[in-house]
Amino acid sequence: MTLRTGGQSPALTFGLGRASGGTVDPKTLVSKTTLEATLVTPNGKSVVIARSLSGAAITTPQHANLAGIAPGPAVLRLALAVTTKSWKNGSTTVPGTVLEPQVRDYPVTIQVPASYPSAPDVVNLGSTDSSSSVKGSIPLKGNGCGWISGAATIKGAPSGVRPTVASTASDTAHCAAGSIPITVDLHGSGNGLLAGTTTVMLRSADSGSAPVAQQVQFRLDMSRPANSSVLWGVLIGLVLLGLLIPLALLYALKFATAKLRGSAVTVGALRGRVDEGSTFLTDRSTLVPAETVTMAVDGRRQVSALGKTFRARMSLLPTEAGYVVVDQPRRPGARGPSGATAKEFARLPLGLVNTWLVSLDPASPHDGDVEVVFLVDPGMNGWPELLRDAISHMPDVVRTLRADLPSSTGTGSTESSGGGWGATPTVADTWGGSSSETSDPWGGGSQTVGTATAGQAAGSTPPTTQQDDPWA
């Protein structure tokens, strides 16, 4: 059903229903039960359609006079005043009870006359972060034209915004067909909804017809413009946090799990010479129980035995597992059979059981005795296999470890027949004599003996050349 302003409405027929469902025959109601129908417009104007309808009259078709009613949304309000039937108490008649009226509102839309163009009830102007102005339009359907009349009414606006509404179609001489352009000058910026209403005058294509006014609501979502420096800073910060937080959690987990594994380990050492392709170890080699140490490792980060400290370390590489560094000052070492080292110290897995490492003699690392340290299960489980592995791979590990040592001689020096780290180099005396220098490769002192040549001033000190300490 379509309701149009300017005349009589089509026939309106009302009925009654139960809250639980089904209809009620008005004829069964007492005459004091009446129905009232009213049309209420947004500006508060009421048009009575019917009043005090009772009985069969409730279902009689009614008409509403819509002359002078502005197009737009309205409410059809039905109010039913209910009075119960009277009843007798002996010879006394008890009148019926007047109940609270039942009121129901039904939304309707009042259309313009058929010969006029129509405008929507609400126009959405979109969103903006501008502080200057926003342009839009009010679409029109049908033949005719329209314009904006008077100042708009602002229902709400963000704080600091003082909007005004203007249009190039502002009077009958500039009546616009198809759509009415509209410009909202904001005069400020803010966050929130800008809402208001404006009066649109609609004129029929029949120039003899009077224009009809319609209230049109407009809405605009506003937000403050973003500060570019703050925005980029926040975006970069979020990206970094997105990368660093998982990485920090990963390293926290790696640190928490970088502990010695197992419950206990027995540590023992054997010592002897290791030459190219041969080793002092044999299949009958064994650890003397009195010279071994059994230590608990259960979840610890550091334990010590036989002058060595086993420290659990977290790897800095995200995908690499933790490891153990064997700290034995001034003794270069390597893990067997891989030869793994960490800053000249042997590097072992977190699970120490059934591993071995070699250490060079600090006094003669190039050709001195080699110490091999075994870490085995306290019950010696797996000892034969561990020993065979050491016999097979120890010469290669020692050769590689010695090859990485710094040179044992300085510039202009020659090695004695002993060679290597145990030799005493002889250095020529640049003053014409000779000097013999003994150097401790582990940072000890050195002595120089020299003889001055003829012509050397008495009391002067001849220059000497000292052997550098490669491990100092």
Those residues with Cβ within 8 angstroms of residue 267's Cβ, 6 or more apart along the chain or in another chain: 292, 293, 294, 295, 305, 306, 308, 373, 374, 375
Based on the fold, state whether residues 269 and 367 are members of the same structural domain: yes
102 pairs with which residues across the strands?
80
CA–CA distance from 76 to each of 39, 67, 327, 459 (Å)?
Answer: 5, 16, 93, 127
Based on the fold, state whether residues 443 and 379 are members of the same structural domain: no
- 463 pLDDT higher than 80: no
Based on the fold, state whether residues 103 and 128 are members of the same structural domain: no
Average pLDDT value for residue range 369-396: 91
Task: Mark out the alpha helices in 327-441 (DSSP H runs).
Answer: 383-403
Based on the fold, state whether residues 378 and 432 are members of the same structural domain: no
Q: How many domains does the chain have?
A: 4
Based on the fold, state whether residues 271 and 368 are members of the same structural domain: yes
Contact 326, 304 (CB under 8 A): no
Domain end point (choices 76, 111, 146): 111
Based on the fold, state whether residues 181 and 202 are members of the same structural domain: yes
The model's pLDDT over 261-309, given as tens digits with 9 standing for 90+, comes to 989 999 999 999 988 878 898 877 888 888 899 999 988 999 999 989 9
Closest to 330 (Cα-Cα) out of 368, 302, 293: 368
- Is 244 within the bounds of a domain? no
- Is 427 within the bounds of a domain? yes
- 199 pLDDT higher than 90: yes
Domain end point (choices 111, 135, 168): 111
- 431 pLDDT higher than 80: no
DSSP state letter for 239: H
- Is 136 within the bounds of a domain? yes
- 424 pLDDT higher than 80: no
Based on the fold, state whether residues 278 and 216 are members of the same structural domain: no
CATH code, domain with 96: 2.60.40
Residue type at position 210 = A
- 456 pLDDT higher than 90: no
- 183 pLDDT higher than 90: yes
Q: What is the pLDDT of residue 319?
A: 86
- Is 229 within the bounds of a domain? no
- Is 161 within the bounds of a domain? yes
Instruction: Give all strands (DSSP E) within 308-417, no chain letters.
Output: 308-313, 323-327, 333-336, 341-342, 345-348, 355-360, 370-376
Task: Please give the backbone phi and psi of residue 240, each rounded to the nearest 5 degrees, phi first.
Answer: -65, -40
- Is 230 within the bounds of a domain? no
Based on the fold, state whether residues 214 and 332 are members of the same structural domain: no
CA–CA distance from 324 to each of 1, 292, 298 (Å)?
Answer: 87, 20, 14
pTM: 0.46
Domain end point (choices 111, 140, 159): 111
DSSP state letter for 176: B
- Find the domain containing 127 and state its range: 122-222
- 419 pLDDT higher than 70: no
- 205 pLDDT higher than 60: yes
Mean pLDDT of the chain: 82
Helix (H) or strand (E) holding 254: helix 228-257
- Is 344 within the bounds of a domain? yes
Based on the fold, state whether residues 214 and 335 are members of the same structural domain: no
- Is 247 within the bounds of a domain? no
Based on the fold, state whether residues 140 and 195 are members of the same structural domain: yes
Q: What is the pLDDT of residue 408?
A: 59
d(CA 84, CA 90) in angstroms, rounded, equals 19
Q: What is the pLDDT of residue 113?
A: 87
Based on the fold, state whether residues 392 and 426 are members of the same structural domain: no
- 412 pLDDT higher than 60: no
